[in-house]
Structure 1
Amino acid sequence: MDELRDLFRRAADHAADYRRSLPDRPVGPPVDHAALTRAFAVPLPAAPTPPEQVLAELVAAAEPGLVATAGPRYFGFVVGGASPAATAADMLAAGWDQIAFNPVTSPAAVAAETAAGAWLKDLLGIPATASVGFVTGGQAANTAGLAAARHRVLADAGWDVERRGLIGAPAVRVFAGAERHATIDRSLRLLGLGTDALRPVPTGPQGAIDPDALAAALHEAGPGPTIVCLQAGNVNTGACDDLRRACDLVHRHGGWVHVDGAFGLWAAAGPSTRHLVDGLEAADSWACDGHKWLNLPYDTAFAFCARPDVHAAAMSYAAAYLVGSGGVPAGADLTAESSRRARGFAVWAGLRELGRDGVAELVERCCALARRFADGLAAAGFEVANEVVLNQVLVGFGDDARTDRVVAAAQADGTCWVGGTTWRGRRLMRISVSNATTTEADVDRTVAALVRLAR
C-alpha cells in the first residue's frame, strides 16, 4: 500500500504542476504529431512494467501534446477549466472506482447525484420534481431528452415505441431553429427519427428562433406527434430563444418542448442574464453541460425531464440479475449508460465549492469579460458581428480569408486559443469566455495579441 500511496501522490503532483503552469504556458503549443504518435506507439512489452515507470512514460509522452484548455486564455469552443474541489473529487472518484448504475452498486454515487441534481434544478429554475440523468455531454443529454419526447408524443398517439419500434409508427415532426446545434440532428439519427423529420424554423437577426414563424409552422403542420427543440445560447452568438412564448405555442398544439441549453441555460443563475431564459420552467426536457460554464471536469452533463416516469420509460431497462432495479428511477434508469462512472461526486464538490453566489458571480463575470473583449477589439477597429448578450463574441477582421489567417496566427502564437466559425455566410473569429480563472488582464493580453497579429 505504501507503493500505491506514492504512485497516487506522484500522479497528483504531476497534475498540480500542470495546473500551476497554465497561466504561463503556451495555450496551443506547436505539435509534432508524428513524434507524438511515436512516443505512444511503442511495442507492447511482454513482461509487466512497474507502475511508477508507466506513469513517468505517460507524462513524458503526453506533455508535448497537451492543450491548455483548462487555462485562463483558452477561448475556443465553450470550455471551462475544472475547479479545484471538483478536480480533487474526480481524483477520488477514480480512486474509489464506483459503478454508478443504481443504489445497490454504489449507494454513495447515487446519493451524490440525487443531492447535486436537486441543487442544479434549484440554480437553473427547473421544477424540483424533474428527473436528472448525469451523462457525458450535450449530445447524450439531447438524446435522452429527445428519447423522452419521442416516447411521450407517440404514446399520446397510441403507439408504444419501446415495444413496437418506429416501423409503422405515426410520423413525428420535429421543429427546430435553423441555427440549432448539430447534436440535435445527430440525436434524431440515433433515435431513428432521421433528419428528414426536421422542419427548420427561421431565426431572427441574432440566431434566436422566430416565434411568429414557429407559430405559423405549427399551424400549417396541424395535429400529430410534435417535438420542438428550442435553444438557450446560440452556439455562435449566445442568443436565447423566447422560451416562454414558444413553450406556450407548442403546448397549445399538444407538443413536447426540449431545450438545448448546453451552456446558455446557466444564464438562469446570473441576476443580469436570467431574463434571457425566462419561461424555461415551462419546457418538458432540458439539456445542459457541466464541463462548460460550470467548470466541472470532462465529461459531465445533465439530462433533465419534467416527467420522470416518461424519462425512465424511454431510457431504463431491467434484468433478473440486476439487483435493485425497478425502484425510484436513478442512475442508469435515466441515461443510455449502464457502466457509469460516478460523475456526481465532482458535481457535488464543484457546486459546494462555488455555492449559489459563486455560480452567479462566475456567470456574470464571464459575460462582463466577453463585453470587454468586444469593446477592446471594436476600439482597435475590428468588427464585432453579434450582440454580446452572454459569453460569446464574433469578430471579423475584414474579408473571410484575412479572418481565417488571424485565427490561424492566434492558434500558432500561443498567447491564447480562439476558433473560427461560419455565421450568416461569413467567416468569423469565435471567442467563448467560460473559464473561472480568466481575468481582465488575460482578456487585455489576448486583445493586444490579436491586434498585433491582425496588423
Structure 2
Amino acid sequence: MLHDLPAEDLFDAASTRAKAYLASTADRLAAPSPEAVAALARFREPLPAAGTEALDVVRLLDEFGSPATVATTGGRYFGLVMGGALPVTVAANWLAAAWDQNAVFRWTSPVAAELEDVALGWFGELFDLPAGFGGAFVSGSSMASVTALAAARHAVFARAGWDVEEEGLAGAPPVTIVVSEEQHPSILKALSLLGFGRNRCIRVPVDDQGRMRADALPPLDERTIVCIQAGNVNTGAFDPAAEICARAREAGAWVHVDGAFGLWAKAAASRASLSAGFEQADSWSTDAHKWLNVPYDSGLVFVREPKHLRAAMSATAAYLLEGEEGAREPSHFTPEMSRRARSIEVWAALKHLGRDGVADLVERCCAHARHFARGLQARGYEVLNEVVLNQVLVSFGSPESTRAVIAELQSGGICWCGGTVWQGRTAMRISVSSWATTAKDVELSLETMDRAARRVAARIENVPMAGRSR
C-alpha cells in the first residue's frame, strides 16, 4: 500500500475539490459537454500493476470526473424527480463515510440504529402514519416497494394459511394484484421480483390526469393487493386514496402506496386535499433523495403492522447476536444485511429543516412548477396537465417538434428536461424537486425553452408554432 501523503492532507485536498465543485453548480451547465464526456476515456486502461499515489487518484477523479457529471445538485435539473443534496446532508454524509458504519444491527452501529429509531418516529408525525407502524431504510423507492410488497405478500398468504417464506409460490393459493394503468414501472418490477408477474395484474383505468378510477376497481377480497399512487410520475396527480382504502378495508385487501415523491405532500398543509386518505393504507414507499434532498441512496418503507415486514425480511443465524430485549433490530426489517447508515443524513435533514422547513421546501418546488406552467402558457405553449404538485407536461406542437425541443435543451445544457408520452401525447416533462432551484433559475429556463422552440419551429417546415406571433 502506498503511504505517499498523510491522511489528513489527502482529506483536505479532497474537501477543497469537493467544495469547489459544489460552489460551481449554480453557474455551470446542467449537462456535461460532449468534450467532457469524451474525456472519460482517460479512465479506460488496464488494471495498473503498481499503485497510484492517493493524491493523484483524487486529482484524476476531479479533473476528468467532475466535468462529466450531470449538475443535479444545481437549480436547473428538471429531468427526473431528483432532488439535490442539502449542504447539511452533504456534511453529514462526509462524517458518515468517515464513521463507515454497517447499519445491519444495533450492536454493529448503535448510533445508526438510534438515528433510525428517531427518524422513523419523525416520519410518523410528518406523514400522519398510524400508531405502531414499522419502517426501514433501503436503497431507494424501488427497493422500498419491493420490501413493502414482500410484507403484503406475507400478510395475504398468511390469511390463506400459506407460509410463503418457507414454501414459496409453487402451489400457493391465488393472489389478485390490482394496479393503475399508469402505474410506475418500479411497482411492476417489484411485483415481478416477488414472483407475481407483470402480466397477471389487473390494470384499472385512469382519468384524464392519470388518477385511478375508484369506480372501475374490480371485486376485492382478503387475498388482494391494491397498488395506488401518491404522485403520478407524469402529472403529479394523486389516486383517490380515501375511497379506494375504504373499499379495500371493507374487503380485507391490502393497499400499498407508491409515494416516491408525492408522499412528501403530506408535509405541506396546502396539499392536504391531495394527500387525504393515504394514511389509511397498509404500506408506503418513498425516497428521501427526492423531496428531502439527501444524498443518494435513501429509500424508505413503512408498514402499518410491523409483524408482516419482520416476517418477510428477518433472517437469523447462530453467529448473529441477539439484540437488546424490546429494541428494534434494523436487520429484521430490510432485505439487506451489510448496508450503509442511511439514517445519518436523513436525521440531519429532518433536524435541520424541522416540520416547517420540509413544508417550505415542498411548497417552493410546487410554486416553481406553477411558475413554469404560467410562463409556458403565456408564451403560447400547451401545458397538458393540471399542475397540482411539482410536475409539468408541455407540448411544443407536433411530436417531432416536442422531441426536437427536448434534444436542443439537453444538448445546450442551460437546463435539462426529459421527454415522455402521456395518454398518447408526446410531451416534455419538467420535475421540480431541488432545494437549489430559484425563481431566477425558472425564468432563465423558460427563456431557454422559448428560444429552443423557436429555433425548432424555424427549422421544421409546415409545423405551426404556438406563440410564433410574439
- Calculate the TM-score normalised by the size of structure 1: 0.96
Q: What does the per-residue CA deviation read over 1:323-342, in whole Å, with 9 as the maximum and x for residues that have no partner?
A: 13596443222111111100
Take 1:33 and 1:359, find their aligned partners in 2: how far apart are those partners? 35
Instruction: Report which stretch shifted further, 94-103 or 43-52.
Output: 43-52
Give matches, 1:283-302, under 5 Å. Answer: 283-302=281-300
Task: Quote the residue 1:236 is aligned against.
Answer: 234
The DSSP-based 3-state class of the residue aligned with 2:78 is coil
Gaps of 5+ in 1: none
Q: What does the per-residue CA deviation read over 1:102-131, in whole Å, with 9 as the maximum and x for residues that have no partner?
A: 101111111111111111121111124211
Give the partner amino acid of 2:414. Answer: T
Task: Quote the residue 2:413 is aligned against.
Answer: 414
Take 2:162 and 2:328, find their aligned partners in 1: how far apart are those partners? 23
- When the two structures are aligned, how many residues end up with a matched partner? 450
Contact 1:103-1:324 at 8 Å conserved across structures: no
Contact 2:323-2:329 at 8 Å conserved across structures: no
* Aligned with residue 124 of structure 2, among 121, 124, 147: 121
Gaps of 5+ in 2: 455-470
Is 1:374 matched up with 2:377? no
Contact 2:177-2:226 at 8 Å conserved across structures: yes
Take 1:331 and 1:38, find their aligned partners in 2: how far apart are those partners? 41
Take 1:340 and 1:147, find their aligned partners in 2: how far apart are those partners? 19
Q: What does the per-residue CA deviation read over 1:217-264, in whole Å, with 9 as the maximum and x for residues that have no partner?
A: 126xxx451000010000000000111111110111111010000000
Is 1:342 matched up with 2:341? yes
Contact 2:159-2:222 at 8 Å conserved across structures: no
Shift of 1:18: 0.9
Task: Quote the residue 2:253 is aligned against.
Answer: 255
Give the partner amino acid of 1:138. Answer: S
Instruction: Report which stretch shifted further, 11-20 or 400-409.
Output: 11-20
Take 2:293 and 2:222, find their aligned partners in 1: how far apart are those partners? 40
Is 1:100 matched up with 2:99? no
Give the partner amino acid of 2:261. Answer: F
Take 1:326 and 1:209, find their aligned partners in 2: how far apart are those partners? 44
Shift of 1:64: 2.9
Task: Quote the residue 1:136 is aligned against.
Answer: 139
Task: Quote the residue 2:329 is aligned against.
Answer: 330
Take 1:137 and 1:422, find their aligned partners in 2: how far apart are those partners? 25
Take 2:100 and 2:280, find their aligned partners in 1: how far apart are those partners? 38
Task: Quote the residue 1:272 is aligned against.
Answer: 270
Q: What does the per-residue CA deviation read over 1:324-374, in whole Å, with 9 as the maximum and x for residues that have no partner?
A: 359644322211111110010000101111111100001111111100000
Instruction: Report which stretch shifted further, 5-14 or 324-333.
Output: 324-333
The DSSP-based 3-state class of the residue aligned with 1:272 is helix
Shift of 1:32: 4.4
Give matches, 1:14-29, under 5 Å. Answer: 14-29=17-32
Task: Quote the residue 2:358 is aligned against.
Answer: 359
Task: Quote the residue 1:432 is aligned against.
Answer: 431
Q: What does the per-residue CA deviation read over 1:178-229, in whole Å, with 9 as the maximum and x for residues that have no partner?
A: 1010011100111111113310001111001101111xx126xxx4510000
What percentage of aligned pairs have identical amino acids?
Answer: 49
Take 1:425 and 1:39, find their aligned partners in 2: how far apart are those partners? 43
Take 2:45 and 2:322, find their aligned partners in 1: how far apart are those partners? 44
Task: Quote the residue 1:166 is aligned against.
Answer: 169
Q: What does the per-residue CA deviation read over 1:19-42, in whole Å, with 9 as the maximum and x for residues that have no partner?
A: 111111011122348734421112
Is 1:5 matched up with 2:8? yes
Take 1:197 and 1:307, find their aligned partners in 2: how far apart are those partners? 26
Contact 2:36-2:64 at 8 Å conserved across structures: no
Shift of 1:48: 2.4
Take 1:198 and 1:36, find their aligned partners in 2: how far apart are those partners? 45
Take 1:421 and 1:325, find their aligned partners in 2: how far apart are those partners? 48
Task: Quote the residue 1:218 is aligned against.
Answer: 219
Contact 1:31-1:64 at 8 Å conserved across structures: no
Q: 1:388 to 1:55 in 2, by over 3 A?
A: same
Task: Quote the residue 2:468 is aligned against.
Answer: none
Contact 1:118-1:128 at 8 Å conserved across structures: no
Give the partner amino acid of 2:306. Answer: P
Q: What does the per-residue CA deviation read over 1:259-293, in whole Å, with 9 as the maximum and x for residues that have no partner?
A: 00000001100111122111122110000100011
**RMSD of aligned C-alpha atoms?**
1.5
